[in-house]
Amino acid sequence: MDVLDLALRAVLFVVFLLAGVAKLRDREGTAAAVVAFGVPQRLARPVSVLLPAMELVTAGLLVSPATALAGALAASALLATFTAAIAVSLAHGRRPPCRCFGQMSAEPVGGRTLLRNAVLLAAAGALSAIELARPSPSPLSWIGDAGVSAPWVVAIALGAASVAGAVALALALLRAYGRVLRRMADLERRLQEALGEAGFEEPEPEIGLEPGTVAPLAELVDIKGRSVVPAEPLRLAILFTSPHCGPCADLLPEVAEWERAYADRLTFAVVVDGTLEEAGAEAKRHGLERVIIDEGSALAEAFEARATPSAVLLDHDGAVASWVATGVEAIRNLVYRAARPEPVTVGDPAPQLELEALDGAFFTLADLHGSAASVVFWNPSCGFCREMHDQLRDYSARVNGAQPALVIVSSGTSEETLAEDFSSRVVLDEQRRLADAFGARGTPMAVSLAPDGTVASEVTAGAEAVLDLLGDEAAEGLSFVR
């Protein structure tokens, strides 16, 4: 029983120590996470300090035999609260970022998160029962009682702690590196779009079947037995991959995101040059909707796609709509061009895309309930946005809850956007879906909406034009009058 007591205390000590330190090192992310779980935004910053402090105190209580019971009860209370918050969010269809261990666990919560917390809660409950039933042993006295085996016990414990620390550090560095790569890819895409609009776009390499050719899709089905024929009016993006291709493995998580983000514009089919087992594993690992087996690369050869990853676009009538794009960046550009809708113009109904707000709820422009509104497209890392940040922040505080409504659409992360301290409604659009729907190719930009939900102005660009569109209250810092 002493061994179980010490083991449970050690596990919970490490968990709460890592969680507390990681949250303190990522206070902006912690603040964004607690808002997403329902904490009022005005309390987000105090909670982002109080919560990790409570976790560190809990870890400290678990060290000493005299306070181990208090630590076990505190761990049980915290874990019960966390588990209940996750369960409520999932029950309401929300999947806010976990941030349980700071930047090391920024993925949305899900069943695995709930299961992990339930296991830890059971461990804390078991430790509480043991502590109530008998005195807690001292780690040092237990090691002393171990006799000649004590050095091995200490060595194993230190080794395990070192490995856990190294793994945690590696995960944090990999996540940070991944965010940098994604940001660089986004900047490169925007630069290519700007060059294309200015007439400097490079011609598309003529690889594969000529656009307009009828695609060789006769009787082709995916691993679920469904026909792979584009559904009108959607176009089909076919991606050729291999289980042994490193760039393919890097791209497939993005493909899963595209399937969700562009479901109203594109259908995706991932062609795997491998066995049924390998194709099924790819579909399960990344949550892909439509996967095709192409063992021997027969389909890829038919499209003249001789490298992986590659992609080609088909029209809903089954005709080839693009040359073959080869490589990750070329595929991204192909998908972004294909998914980008024709921008709305003055008098058109405003796009009704569903986006996530900073509080974790979902929002569409229809939620404005007949109010006139101004929509500002924003990026926290944009230098031109920084020049007008203070004016927009003050303006958002004055018009919060007033008419016309102000909606800020941020293409930054939730952490970056929360740090902007805007008081008005703020929604996240990292994939720039709503921005593309309005034809807002950069930041800062803005557009006005009429009370009937139609577009009331052209999209304006630049800090001065955005402030002019918002009115004298924003441009001159005057108080807002309803």
> Does 103 share its domain with 34?
yes
> Does 318 share its domain with 393?
no
Domain boundary among 111, 145, 179: 145
Write the CB contacts of 438 (distance below 8 Å, at least 6 apart in sequence): 343, 344, 351, 375, 377, 447, 455, 459
> Does 9 share its domain with 83?
yes
Average pLDDT over residues 137-147: 52
Residue 337: its pLDDT value, please? 83
> Does 16 share its domain with 45?
yes
Tokens of 70: 């208090």
Rounded Cα distance between 452 and 393, Å, is 27
Residue 196: its pLDDT value, please? 47
Whether 435 is in a domain gets the answer: yes
Whether 349 is in a domain gets the answer: no
Whether 454 is in a domain gets the answer: yes
pLDDT band at 480 (very low <50, low <70, confident <90, very high): very low
Whether 273 is in a domain gets the answer: yes
Whether 453 is in a domain gets the answer: yes
> Does 370 share its domain with 319?
no
Residues 158-214: tens digit of each pLDDT: 555 565 555 556 555 555 555 555 556 556 555 655 554 444 445 567 889 999 998
Least confident of 155-164, 236-245, 274-283, 285-294: 155-164
Is the Cβ–Cβ distance between 312 and 322 less than 8 Å? Answer: yes
DSSP structure string for 216-276: S-TT-B-TTS-B--PPTT-EEEEEEE-TT-HHHHHHHHHHHHHHHHTTTTEEEEEEESS-H
Residue 407: its pLDDT value, please? 92
> Does 300 share its domain with 383?
no
Query: How many percent of the chain have pLDDT more than 90?
Result: 19
Whether 388 is in a domain gets the answer: yes
Whether 151 is in a domain gets the answer: no
Residue 40: its pLDDT value, please? 74
Residue 164: its pLDDT value, please? 55
> Does 319 share its domain with 362?
no
pTM of the predicted protein model: 0.47
pLDDT for residue 218 is more than 80: no
Q: What's the number of domains the chain is made of? A: 3
Average pLDDT over residues 233-237: 85
Whether 204 is in a domain gets the answer: no
Residue 85: its pLDDT value, please? 85
pLDDT for residue 148 is more than 60: no
What is the DSSP pairing of strand 291-293 with strand 266-272? Answer: parallel
Residues 427-466: tens digit of each pLDDT: 999 878 888 889 888 889 999 999 998 999 999 998 889 9
Query: How many percent of the chain have pLDDT more than 70?
Result: 77
Print the domain residue range for 305.
235-339
Write the CB contacts of 18 (distance below 8 Å, at least 6 apart in sequence): 101, 168
Domain boundary among 145, 161, 196: 145
pLDDT for residue 476 is more than 70: no
Residues 290-302: tens digit of each pLDDT: 999 988 888 999 9
CATH label of the domain that carries residue 420: 3.40.30.10
Domain boundary among 80, 113, 145: 145
